Amino acid sequence: MVRLMFVDRRVSPRLERLLIVTHMHVAGAIHADVAAPSPQWLTEPDDLNALDPALWSRTVARTGEGSLEVGGVDVRTAVEREGSPVYLFDEDDFRARAREFARAFTGWDVYYAGKAMLTRTVARIISEEGLDLDVCSGGELTVALAGGMDPARIGMHGNNKTPEELELALCSGVGRIIVDSLDEIGRIEELCREGGWRAKVMVRVTPGVEAHTHEYIATAHEDQKFGFSIANGQAMVAMVRCHYSPCIELLGVHSHIGSQIFDTGGFEIAARRTIKLMGQFADATGVHLPQLDLGGGFGIAYTSADSPATPEHLAAGLREIVEHEANVYSMAVPRMSVEPGRAIAGPSTMAVYTVGTVKVVDLDGGAQRVYVSVDGGMSDNIRPALYAAEYSGVLANRASDESGVLCRVVGKHCEGGDILVRDVFLPGDIVPGDLIAVPGMGAYSREMASNYNHALRPPVVRVSRGALHPMIRRETMDDLMSLDVGD
């Protein structure tokens, strides 16, 4: 049993909650000794039928009959046509968020982080809205190219790119490869000599920033797998090697401090250390590198406790930080880029589930919780089980005048930690057959989905102007069995 002995009172209330939630038994949340009927931030809403606009895509509303609609389509209609569960992608909302980042960061390059959500349709929309795109695998690169993305506007990430993936990137002509190890640099050089290419690269560095997020999605501290450490000199070694390689054009430095970050504080330290590094490189080589990428990780609202920054606020803060640090080191401001993914895709998509069972469970002290089981679960959203991510949910097929009851929305899989919405107030008259909609499902839900328990992954359906357009179809048993080639 892992016991959280104390909470550091210097941390923010939000981080304090995160520490309490994430210090759990290795076997999962159900085995932890930290238990409470509900988190302190959760209170019963005055109106259970009301929708918090911070959580939902912009075309979501209640119909006159009380059901939810998105893009002019009633969720009941969507489920009747596409089945349940289903991801509903609000195209107008996605486009609007992409445009907001492009406007806010005018003069910077905005790379949409494809790992959040990527289909051929998404790649097409990103291209149409004038954003660039970053990918993390050969599969993502293949989808991006199939969606019509100009390879010159693609950046290729990954801490362990295979020779096949690097060859695809090089022969496709991607605009930049973000190198992550000396082994990778050698691999690129070998491929370039064989293929006659010259690779454009950025060196991913670890600036040593402890982002206030879950340890699995904090990526700039020293003890993790990404990048070259600035502190121990490996970043400079990699930069010098790339600079003097006849096969490589070194574009600049890349940094990423983590995910689901709500302010620009951590970026200040990252910018200071990366710009200082670029100044030291210029002193050593006489070359001023032209580009700096500060990554992404901008957060969204999953619950009413979250207060994410707007693109305008983020852009203003980052511009001020970069200009200040460049002045400190007497450098011209390099060509800057950022990589929003979740902040564009996350709020654009809801998941809709059908209730299968409703069960009342007694808690300590005489309290009770209602377990609402739905027809999805950790196979279509692993994030709550993986790092205690919090979500919200509402009754979607009708309105209700009943008082709220404390519920836990859980999936159908054979795991105690198969939780979709850990704590939420739902109407007391919720019954099997009702629909529950969960907002904020556009990022890292379908992308991280699995076939655990041989579940079939749900479809992604684009909703626009009153019409449904499948983006990824629902898997079938034939799909599943086609991979099983045994006797």
**10 CB contacts (<8 Å, ≥6 apart)?**
none
| Nearest one of 93, 112, 101 to 314, comparing CA atoms | 101
Which amino acid, 416?
Answer: G
Euclidean distance between CA atoms 142 and 191, whole angstroms: 19
Q: Which residues contact 158 (CB under 8 A, 6 or more apart)?
A: 136, 137, 165, 178, 180
Token couple for 313:
């606020």
Q: Is 387 annotated as a binding residue?
A: yes
Q: Going by C-beta distance under 8 Å and a sequence separation of 6 or more, which residues neighbour residue 484?
A: none
Altogether, the residues listed in the chain come to a count of: 487
- Residue 383, marked binder: yes
For 2, how many CA atoms within 13 A lie in the half-sphere containing its CB? 14
Is 341 labeled as ligand-binding?
A: yes
Residue ranges in 129-210 assigned as alpha helix (H): 138-146, 163-172, 182-195
Structure tokens at 411: 């999936």
- According to DSSP, the residues that pair with 438 across neighbouring strands are 351
The DSSP H or E segment spanning 144 is: helix 138-146
91 annotated among ligand-binding-site residues: no
Positions marked active-site: 414
- Annotated binding residue at 339? yes
207's tokens: 């600036």
Q: How many CB atoms lie within 10 A of CB 72?
A: 13
Q: Which of 407, 401, 395 is nearest to 353 (CA)?
A: 395
Give the tokens for residue 103. Answer: 């406007």
Residue 323 assigned as binding residue: no
User: What residue type is 174 in one-letter code?
Assistant: V
Q: Which residues contact 481 (CB under 8 A, 6 or more apart)?
A: none
d(CA 211, CA 197): 37
Q: Would you give the end-to-end CA distance of the chain in angstroms?
A: 43
Burial (CB count within 10 angstroms: exposed 0-12, middle 13-18, buried 19+), residue 360: exposed
- Cα 223 from chain centre: 21
Q: Does 391 show up as a binding residue in the annotation? A: no
| Binding-site positions for pyridoxal 5'-phosphate | 297, 339-342, 444
| Binding-site positions for substrate | 342, 383, 387, 415, 444
